[in-house]
Copies of this chain bind each other. A is one copy, B any other.
Amino acid sequence: MDALEAITSRRSIRRYTDEPVTETELEALLRAAMCAPSGFGQRSARYVVVREPDTRRMLSEVSKHAGPVAGAPVAIVVCGDTTAERHPGTYFIHDAVAALENLLTAATALGLGAVWVGVHPWPDRMDAVRAAVGLPEGVEPIATVAVGHPESVPVSPDRYDETFVHRERW
């Protein structure tokens, strides 16, 4: 799929068919994520791929928005490894989110559907995700992405808003 089409047609997809996400598809998603830039090229983003229903159920209970994780064939917990940072605590959010956005674009391009479930910076959600997937000290969960084949794909509105753009100065 054309890149601009993938970006502009992306929707948050929260309901999935029973069709599995293949290892080939999964690797394409993770490769896309790893192609994002990172601060100092430090590549601090990490991934925990979860297919096990019990773990997905735990991940789905960390907030009222996390429900889709239970029903998706696969979930990817995107993390920031602060021990991989040149200056710990500076860019781990940026690195993980840039990777995550590539993952969402790639999912759309592959005909998959995904939704970004927020975890960071909510301490209760972060603790619950840490426990669910056993994150070590220094690795911070940023978000869980639920991925599957979409039950349906709504048409995207045009999201361009000129009022968000300032010229030369604010």
Residues of A within 8 A of B (CB): 1-8, 10, 12, 27-28, 30-32, 34-37, 39, 43, 45-52, 55, 90-91, 93-94, 97-98, 100-102, 104-106, 108-110, 116, 118, 120-122, 133-136, 139, 142-143, 156, 158-161, 164-170
Contacts and interface: CB of A to CB of B under 8 A. Distances in A.
A59 to B, nearest CB: 11
Contact of A121 (B90, B101, B106, B139): B90
22 contacts: A3-B3, A3-B109, A4-B32, A4-B106, A8-B31, A8-B32, A10-B37, A35-B156, A35-B159, A36-B101, A37-B104, A37-B116, A47-B165, A52-B168, A55-B168, A90-B121, A91-B118, A93-B93, A93-B97, A94-B118, A101-B101, A133-B169
